[in-house]
Amino acid sequence: MLLTGCAGSGAGTDAACAAFRPVYTSRADTLSEGTAEQLLSHNITGAKLCGWRANSNRSPVNGSSDGVRRDDQAE
Indicate if the pLDDT at residue 39 is higher than 90.
Answer: yes
CA distances (Å), origin 75, targets 14, 42, 58: 24, 20, 8
pLDDT of residue 65: 46
pTM over 0.85: no
d(CA 23, CA 37): 12
d(CA 58, CA 47): 14
pLDDT of residue 61: 52
